Structure 1
Amino acid sequence: MTAQQMRSPTPEGVARAAAKIADLLPRTPLLETEIHGHSVWIKAESLQPIGAFKIRGAWHRLSDLTEEERARGVVGVSSGNHAQGVAWAARRLGIAATIVMPVDAPAVKLAATRALGAEVVLYDRPGGEDRDELARRLCAERGATLVHAYADPWVIEGQGSAGTEIIAQMAERGMRPPTRVIVCCGGGGLTAGLALACPDAEIIPVEPEGWDDVCRSLATGTIQRVMADAPATACDSLQTPATFPINFAILKERCTHGVAVTPAEVRAAQRFAFSALHLVVEPGGAAALAAALAGKVPLDGRTAILVTGSNTDPADFAKVLASTD
């Protein structure tokens, strides 16, 4: 059995990850804004050094490797944000990193991953090539450790550290913990981590329309895959084929339902983040905010919303800001 199969993520693991990350990185801001007459709290993970929350899980995972494991290197799978998180942590720790990335990943994410020193191996996502199978083959050939983007207990715990910070930041303002956490959801690593970190909060995952496999999994009680005819989406960071049992075991206990957002709702959220919060947010990083702005989730003065990434192509972002749909 692999290390991922031998253990489950725990609240204690989240606390340990949070302590490790607090020693490494400053906390991202918790910004107050108003939506539909309610104060809400925006956790700006888009301001992380790599422009996304993925640095949390990558650091927790890689910093826990043994010296022997570090010497053999790591393999990650990502469209770009987890790729940069793994590459950033690997460079800091002196570990060789190989990242399996889709041929249609945003150019800005491919370039940033390579700039951080990682080897990039491309796979044909539009052609249906299995990225996880390719990653497993590379691990077997090289003796490397797989650092999965979401189906890994260390990664889940590391992502949950964002929730630990939210609770502390709200307490510093004299507030109780969040009643609700709205989160952008791909494979469910961040969602599961937040569920462990914020046990008293309602956790609401948000996915792009047509890529709502977690929503359907929660509705049916069994893991569902993205449909073969899923539409194209600008939310590349949320284009995961299906959640994994390690994630779903937590999600089905803590999430009553999920929400899907349309491309127009995502663009509106990107514009809101830029005008009201002065944040550059990529499409996938704006999904949770989109659900709140579209009135698809209830809000109150203790609702926290994760803005998860800023790695967007400048020209594409300019088009979004100029659009009115």
Structure 2
Amino acid sequence: MLSVSFDSVVAARERLRGQINPTPLTRSRVLSEMTQANVWLKFENFQFTASFKERGALNKLLSLDTAQRQAGVVAVSAGNHAQGVAYHATRLGIRSLIVMPGGTPFVKVRNTQKLGAEVILWGDSLAEAASHMEEEYVGRRGMTLVHPYDDPQVIAGQGTVALEMLESEPGLDMLVVPVGGGGLIGGVAVAAQASPGVRVVGVESARYPCAQAALSGDPSMVSGGQTIAEGIAVRTVGRLPLEILRALKPMLLSVDEAGIERAIALLASIEKVIVEGAGAAGLAALLSHGTAFAGRNVGIVLTGGNIDTRLLASVLMRQLVQESRLVALSIEVEDRPGFLSRVAGCIGESGGNIVQVGHDRLQGGIHAKSASLEVQLEAQDEGHVERIVRDLESAGFRALLLR
């Protein structure tokens, strides 16, 4: 007997009705054509705190009795879960306290405080913060823990996203969700049981495949390190989600950093939506494992949109470079008046748009009467770049593409 039942997910949907945004599920014609699958996107980044985490947090809060509400709730999180708990606890008149590691970026602390929570900074890691929270606030003060994924009510709340998707589009036969601690895939897998033929697919960061590691009994699979998908950078899957994974056996896939970056950029350019790294993992799986989805009706949950604007800008610019839409050329010219304008004119006539120019007379390897221009320019694609280089060489300039 699983700790979370289909009936508990249905009960969570009724509990959340009118208190959570029933986010849109929309077919993407362009992504469908790109992936050879019939792609539907579930926009959980449209929730008030821009994350699906509100569902599980609110379901847990609504299940509290009077004494628990009066004692208040506590959570350990430096991300979307913290904001979901803070927002809905404040809305319901419940005191909330969020414990975060001492090095948490101030913007995350401030955003959580703005939503009405008291924030306590403790320790150097989430593990240290969690230990302090358990001892001080749950043990001594009797506050109720709202765990981000290892709680039946939280898992049931997350599963409501699958009910919405399958009711909105009954023809879906694959549901694709990112996997971190496992609360979302656990709830979605339970909810999908009532729809025969629907396959649930979990997507993990290649650096943090914690569910695959747990199922195989090989913790060394989790290499860790920096990842753009912070929301699923978890070393150990939750105990209750693992129980569900073992019983219901969803498909598990991994995606690398380049794939996640590409998915973020495509969602911004094609769908005009901002999605964080973890939220883009589902689309990254379709792009990286196309044969598993070809010809299928695939629903992808875009789980969140909380990405740092500087990181987003970097990802978008890096994708332009990957697509050869932003390139750098090193061009040797004679160090005489007029040669810079001749180079610029040649590039312009070839359809390139110059973004930035660097002029170096002292670089080794070129003649003393020459200079090196490093020109950053915009182009249409790789073929267009090759044509610009050919046109420069035809005009008598030596051009080298810088990678």
Q: Same fold (TM over 0.5)?
A: yes
Alpha-carbon deviation of 1:290?
A: 0.9
Q: What CA distance in whole angstroms lies between the structure 2 residues aligned with 1:103 and 1:291?
A: 34
Q: Deviations over 1:75-98 (max 9, x none)?
A: 112231011110111001111111
Q: What CA distance in whole angstroms lies between the structure 2 residues aligned with 1:37 and 1:108?
A: 40
Q: What CA distance in whole angstroms lies between the structure 2 residues aligned with 1:287 and 1:268?
A: 10
For the structure 1 residues 38 and 256, does the alpha-carbon distance in structure 2 shift closer, same or farther, using more than 3 Å as the test? closer
| Match of residue 318 from structure 1 | 313
Letter in 2 for 1:36: T
Q: Which moved more, 1:235-244 or 1:277-286?
A: 235-244
Alpha-carbon deviation of 1:27?
A: 1.2
Q: Which moved more, 1:112-121 or 1:44-53?
A: 112-121
Letter in 2 for 1:192: G
- Secondary structure of residue in 1 paired with 2:90: helix
Q: What CA distance in whole angstroms lies between the structure 2 residues aligned with 1:21 and 1:9?
A: 17
Tell whether 2:210 aligns with 1:213: yes
| Match of residue 245 from structure 1 | 239
Q: Deviations over 1:278-314 (max 9, x none)?
A: 1100111111111112225424342111110001111
Equivalences for 1:59-138 in 2 at 5 Å? 59-105=58-104, 107-124=106-123, 129-137=127-135, 138=137
Q: What CA distance in whole angstroms lies between the structure 1 residues aligned with 2:127 and 2:19?
A: 36
Q: What CA distance in whole angstroms lies between the structure 2 residues aligned with 1:165 and 1:140?
A: 37
Q: What CA distance in whole angstroms lies between the structure 2 residues aligned with 1:31 and 1:52?
A: 17
Given that residues 71 and 144 in structure 2 are in contact (C-alpha distance below 8 angstroms), is that contact kept between their aligned partners in structure 1? yes
Alpha-carbon deviation of 1:121?
A: 2.4
Aligned residues: 311
- Secondary structure of residue in 1 paired with 2:82: helix
Q: What CA distance in whole angstroms lies between the structure 1 residues aligned with 2:166 and 2:153?
A: 20
Q: Deviations over 1:106-134 (max 9, x none)?
A: 554332211101122234455x7434323
Alpha-carbon deviation of 1:105?
A: 4.4
| Match of residue 55 from structure 1 | 54
Given that residues 46 and 52 in structure 1 are in contact (C-alpha distance below 8 angstroms), is that contact kept between their aligned partners in structure 2? yes
Letter in 1 for 2:38: S
Letter in 1 for 2:245: L
Gaps of at least 5 residues in structure 2 are: 323-403
Given that residues 180 and 302 in structure 1 are in contact (C-alpha distance below 8 angstroms), is that contact kept between their aligned partners in structure 2? yes
Alpha-carbon deviation of 1:158?
A: 0.2
Given that residues 209 and 261 in structure 1 are in contact (C-alpha distance below 8 angstroms), is that contact kept between their aligned partners in structure 2? yes
Q: What CA distance in whole angstroms lies between the structure 2 residues aligned with 1:274 and 1:31?
A: 15
Letter in 2 for 1:294: S
Letter in 2 for 1:322: M
Given that residues 123 and 129 in structure 1 are in contact (C-alpha distance below 8 angstroms), is that contact kept between their aligned partners in structure 2? no
- Secondary structure of residue in 2 paired with 1:206: strand
| Match of residue 13 from structure 1 | 8
Aligned Cα RMSD in Å? 2.2
Given that residues 109 and 311 in structure 1 are in contact (C-alpha distance below 8 angstroms), is that contact kept between their aligned partners in structure 2? no
Tell whether 2:280 aligns with 1:283: no
Gaps of at least 5 residues in structure 1 are: 1-6
Q: Deviations over 1:3-44 (max 9, x none)?
A: xxxx92211110011112222133111121114222211111
For the structure 1 residues 66 and 223, does the alpha-carbon distance in structure 2 shift closer, same or farther, using more than 3 Å as the test? farther
Tell whether 2:234 aligns with 1:235: no
Structure with the bigger RCO (C-alpha within 8 Å, sep 6+) is 1
Q: What CA distance in whole angstroms lies between the structure 2 residues aligned with 1:301 and 1:226?
A: 30
| Match of residue 256 from structure 2 | 262
Q: Deviations over 1:135-174 (max 9, x none)?
A: 3112112110011000000000000000010011104xxx
Given that residues 173 and 297 in structure 2 are in contact (C-alpha distance below 8 angstroms), is that contact kept between their aligned partners in structure 1? yes
Alpha-carbon deviation of 1:48?
A: 0.5
- Secondary structure of residue in 2 paired with 1:242: coil
- Secondary structure of residue in 2 paired with 1:317: helix
| Match of residue 166 from structure 2 | 167
Letter in 2 for 1:210: R
Q: What CA distance in whole angstroms lies between the structure 2 residues aligned with 1:139 and 1:197?
A: 31
- Larger radius of gyration, structure 1 or 2? 2
Q: Which moved more, 1:76-85 or 1:238-247?
A: 238-247
Alpha-carbon deviation of 1:226?
A: 7.2
Q: Which moved more, 1:254-263 or 1:97-106?
A: 97-106
